[in-house]
Structure 1
Amino acid sequence: MSAEPVTSAPVDRMLPRTHPLWLFPVTGATAVLVGLLPWLLTGARMPIQNLWAFTPTVPPIVLLPFSQYSVGLILSVIVVGAALAGIAGRALGARSRRSGTALLLAAVGLLQLAAVAQTAVTVADTLQERTESTIYVVGLSLGCVLTVALGLAVTTLIATAPRAGALLGLAVGSAVTSGWLSSIIVPFGSSPATLPAAMWLAQWVPPVLVGAAIAWTGVDTAGRIIAAIAAVVAVWMTPAFITGLTNAVGSRVLAESPADMLDYGLGVFRMALFEPALALPPILTAIVVAAIGLAVRALLGRRRAAIA
């Protein structure tokens, strides 16, 4: 009696599927563009500059909204794009493909730094030749470069770290989504919100995302518990940090006194951080969403075990 032919179909189904390497940089570039969407939708025309040498009839196009009044938006569009790149990279299997991870990070970093350079050069060409202009452009450029570095750390954590580390990256990315969504709803430089309900809902997105990320990660190890606590802290502190930063940097009165600007920003930060009406809702929302997600996860796990 002849033996049955051996088929490779079951083996093939067990082998991990790999994606072509070109998908990694393409995905990274796409994530960067999606991150920039709130600014690109405005037409990407240079914001009004207090130090303009002349007022252009049609402001030039810049890839980032360089203005002391939009530092929160700059932070959001860079970090959200980086976080999206990390999520896509993890889905593509970046954890097991170093070359793919390198291509992903290169695409994100180079495109975002190119946006910083293009914006800085374009803005500098329109400003008065004064020391204040140099300080202004260098200060914003340095802040953007540091934000790009933060974004690359977020991309790396989400794409390649174990779940506890990925949660930290997801928490940072989630914490700035409120500003990103708000700028979609009410574009930078436009009139006050005509969709107050949408703006109200946008503020709840970060804690909901953080809670969902904690549920995905789980809290079954010490590292994951620590990461979950850090994620809740991030969703609590980030709005206060952005509020303090935007109030300090956006103050023309304090522009010539960095020490007073720093002191004022820290004061606003502390006030927003410890105001119960501002601090408690996002913390409680993240905890409740995480608890519901973890309960559902445990229930599904028990059901799968019972079926097995």
Structure 2
Amino acid sequence: MTFEPNQAAAAAPLVQIRNLHFGYGQRPILRDVSLQVPRGKVTAIMGASGGGKTTLLRLISGQHLPPVGSVCFDGVDVGAQTHKGLYALRRRMGMLFQFGALFTDMTVFENVAFPLREHSRLPEAVLRDVVLMKLNAVGLRGARELYPSEISGGMARRVALARAIALDPELIMYDEPFAGLDPIALGTTARLIRRLNDALGTTTILVSHDLDETFAIADHVVILANGAIAEQGAPAQIRQSRDPLVQQFVQGAFDGPVQFHYPGPGLEEDFGLPQPHGRAARAAHTAGGRP
């Protein structure tokens, strides 16, 4: 099958990560990560805390530059851009930070208007209409004159979402959008993310620990473990994975590759008790904190 240039571009992944390595100082965070994010789909990145999920979002947006490997957005190497080029790429991305990160001294309207004022020269009348349309999309047009302190956490998250889509981005990245929400607000936010992705024709990358809501809206799920991709595929495929670490994460199991106890000396050593021998020694050593 032969593709025309525009068809080939549309079929190519919006984000392509190749052999990515990254760390903070001497502490490695991501190891040889390769990933493709398809256009128009919801891709979820999941895994244990501290596994590099948020760091991956920062690398995609160019906040961090990889020492090894590459991150490409729409065929453009993010790490090779000048400041001006990176600024232009970021205009095509929207980001919803954990807990919303709204400006507390601005109204709901002004929070959503902020990126439009920063990145466009729209006449005030047009800007007003755009802001109201974005707020209407998240069900908060009537709350435009309120301040963040006057709305609930779930509403604040929806305001942040309206702000993230203000510039009609091609890619929207969500960092723990469900954190701290009650069940009603959580379900509303999840359905809104899916609905906006489909209605606006955007591409979504979602970092979350909430298994049920994320699996309900995601097309593709990536499980990060120890800085590497342990498994990826459709939600049903992830649930059926035989990888012990993936199964422990999906089931929320106490026992598994991820240990409950932080490694440390055995109980006998810490409390000055007689040292057991044989099988009892191994059991006591595990209870004391070592796998």
Please say whether Structure 1 and Structure 2 have the same fold, judged by a TM-score greater than 0.5: no
Q: What TM-score range do you get, normalising by the shorter chain?
A: under 0.3
TM-score by length of 2: 0.27
